[in-house]
Structure 1
Amino acid sequence: MTTRTRRRTEAATGTGPEPFASRLLRWFDINGRHDLPWQHPRTPYRVWLSEIMLQQTQVRTVIPYFERFVSALPTLPALAAAPRDDVMALWSGLGYYARARNLQAGAQRCVAQHGGELPRDIEALTALPGIGRSTAAAILSQAWGDRHAILDGNVKRVLARYHGIEGYPGLPAVERQMWALAEQHLPADRLADYTQAQMDLGATLCTRTDPACVLCPLRDDCVARREGRMAELPTPKPGKAAPQKHACVLWLENASGEVLLQRRPPTGIWASLWTLPQAEDAASSRAWFERELHGDFDTALALRPIDHAFSHYKLRLQPLRIGNVALRERVGDNDDLRWVARGEFTSIGIPAPIRKLLES
């Protein structure tokens, strides 16, 4: 067996000088994050909330949202019983709003099926909305110390580099290989610390660009470091240009300076949030304006366009600002339209780019 083959085998099996998990935990004891708000106290509800918020969002962004959320809704039953608008307002600006809707739906299911508690079972957890295998494992390992492997983006990056795994991690065959390795590396105890250590290593040292290999506890037998392939691994997703879409939004003010907001449909982009009335183009906006409002559309002032990127496409919004408008009288109430004073913006769920526009 050559030296390279032996080292590759040791990296693949964790049979080098010191096991993978032991080195990682020793590093974590000194350099890990031990003062995150969901760690004190570390309850199942707080762990669950943090794991959902941390999906595709960095820790420093999540912390103030987490603290505000648990202050307003400190328990799972409180979340289940809260008005939807209150939940969306607490989430407003954090993005990926389906997470908030799934979180509340999951809480309501826990109240109905699990006595108001989060179930301590991976199958029951993954049956809840918005919880996949890795998130369920992270909850179980951190809330109860149960022995489950996680495989979030940080862990995939560490494993791809450490083991020299080629292929996009989102491909089923590659992901299966990573799950097997993640489970193989599990220690016998300290599962909560080990789970956090993996995430911390990927977030602070084994980053996407410019990884700090010289500080990494796994550097001695990391395949990517030894072969100078840190920039290549993990293999990126095959490139595909995101389509560009366009829309028009109406910033409408009444004689009192209140702004007209419209609730988005319960599914789709920005679902259930309050935003400026939106249409595909200026002509469609005019047609809606003349049907719903009294005012002069021709006085519209075109503001600087807003560019916003979603996961699957890019959106350019053209705001048109019109003052001195009023809603037409209609039979019955339109619960999806409301006048909002500027001081009330923080109390309702508004998409981040629209909030930024309104506060500019």
Structure 2
Amino acid sequence: MQSGFGFNGHDDLIRWQRALAPIRALAGPLPRRSPIGALVKSMISGRTRDGVSLAAYDRLVAAFGTPGRVLAAGRDEVLRCIGGVTHAEDKAGYVVDALERIAVERKGFDLGFLGPPPLEEALAWLERLPGVGRKVAAATLNGSTLDRPVLIVDSHVLRVLQRLGFVSHHAEARAASEAVTAAMPEWQGRDFLDFHIATKKLGQTLCRLDAADCAGCPLRADCRSH
């Protein structure tokens, strides 16, 4: 697949994956949550530092234990647990509303049914939920025990892909996720998750928004913004 910016998307992604392997190793393992756990965790993590969102999610789990109890507790109690995250009031409402819709439609919180259908159908089902866009939907499918092959694109991953020139500087997370996912039909879920973790770590440490360390970047030879 050609990215449109002079790259052979497939071959370059393979090369970048290999070059980022040391950074991926430093990032350590990412726990595989249940799909509903991955959904809630991703919903509260947007525009928030990892440590802050993880602590908020852990408080939510410690306080209520199950999605049904989170739903029963209501928005104010959820807000009490996740108050440190960005846009906490909106996210608390989205979490409760999304859980309520899932409970009504599925008579429970088991999202295992999202494993078999075509990827676009599974993503579309999730994106109907309040507060769920492509990043959250992809995290639910790829970052959970479902292990589906789709790239999670947050702000760090998007910035790296934009600076590399793989996608336009005006591209949104959805387009970037679709471009990488389509370019790598042979990648398994773990491959996409590893690439997400590595590029996110690169964006957090070297390819920062305000102070990029290009000299130390393992992708600098391919970077259009270097």
Question: Taking structure 1 as the reference length, what is the TM-score of the superposition?
Answer: 0.51
Paired residue secondary structure (2:187): coil
Runs of 5+ consecutive residues of structure 1 not aligned to the other structure: 1-7, 226-360
2:27 corresponds in structure 1 to 32
Residue-by-residue CA offset, 1:48-83 (whole Å, 9 max, x unaligned): 222112211111222322221111122222212213
State the shift of 1:160 in Å: 0.9
| 2:119 match | none
**For the residues of structure 2 that align with 1:19 and 1:184, how far apart are their CA atoms?**
17
1:23 and 2:19 matched: yes
**Counterpart residue number, 2:153:** 151
- My pick for the range that moved more, 93-102 or 179-188, is 179-188
CA–CA distance in 1 between the matches of 2:54 and 2:123?
26
CA shift in 2, pair 1:210/1:65, >3 Å: same
Residue pairs, 1:83-162, within 5 angstroms: 83-96=74-87, 97-119=89-111, 120=114, 121-143=122-144, 144-162=146-164
8 A Cα contact 2:74 2:96, kept in partner: no
Matched with 1:249 is: none
C-alpha separation between the residues in 1 aligned to 2:83 and 2:55?
12
Structural RMSD (CA): 2.7
Partner Cα separation in structure 1 for residue 101 and residue 67 of structure 2:
10
What is the rounded CA distance, in whole Å, between the counterparts of 2:156 and 2:187 in structure 1? 22
Number of residues paired by the alignment? 208
Alpha-carbon spacing, 1:199–1:74, altered in 2? closer, same or farther (3 Å): farther
Question: Whole-Å Cα distance in 1 between the matches of residues 54 and 140 of structure 2?
Answer: 17
Quick one: structure 1 residues 55 and 16, their matched pair in 2 at CA, closer, same or farther if it must change by over 3 Å?
closer
**1-structure distance, mates of 2:149, 2:61:** 27
Choose between structure 1 and 2: higher helix proportion.
2
Separation in 1, partners of 2:202, 2:62: 29
- Whether the 8 Å CA contact 1:12–1:163 is kept in 2: the answer is no
- Identity rate, percent: 24
Query: Does the Cα contact within 8 Å between 1:52 and 1:99 map onto a contact in 2?
Result: yes
Q: State the distance in 2 between where 1:101 and 1:111 align.
A: 15
SS of 1:112 mapped into structure 2: helix
Aligned to 1:55: 46
**Contact 1:53/1:99 (<8 A) preserved:** yes
Structure 1's 88 and 164: CA in aligned 2 closer, same or farther, altered over 3 A? Answer: closer
Q: Could you tell me whether the CA contact under 8 Å between 2:98 and 2:130 is conserved in 1?
A: yes
Q: CA 1:224–1:84 in structure 2 vs 1: closer, same or farther (change >3 Å)?
A: closer
Deviation sequence 1:18-42 (CA, Å, 0-9, x none): 5333333x234422243x6xx2x52
Aligned-partner Cα distance in 1 for 2:14–2:133: 31
Whether the 8 Å contact between 1:149 and 1:183 is mirrored in structure 2 is yes
TM-score, length-normalised on structure 2?
0.78
Decide whether aligned partners of structure 1 residues 16 and 153 sit closer, same or farther in structure 2, where only a CA change above 3 A counts: closer
Q: One-letter code of the match for 2:179?
A: L
Output the CA distance in 2 between the equivalents of 1:76 and 1:99.
15
Match of 1:197 in 2: 198
Quick check: which one's strand share is greater?
1
Q: In structure 1, how many angstroms separate the alpha carbons of the residues matched to 2:13 and 2:138?
A: 28
Query: Structure 2: how far apart are the matches of 1:16 and 1:94?
Result: 35
Code of the aligned partner of 2:161: L
- Deviation by residue 1:185-223 (Cα, 9 ceiling, x = unmatched): 546121333333332222222210222333333222122
Which amino acid letter does the alignment assign opposite residue 32 of structure 1? A
Counterpart of 2:187 in structure 1 is 188
Where structure 2 has 5 or more consecutive residues not aligned to the other structure, the ranges are: 115-121
Distance 1:58 1:219, change over 3 A: same
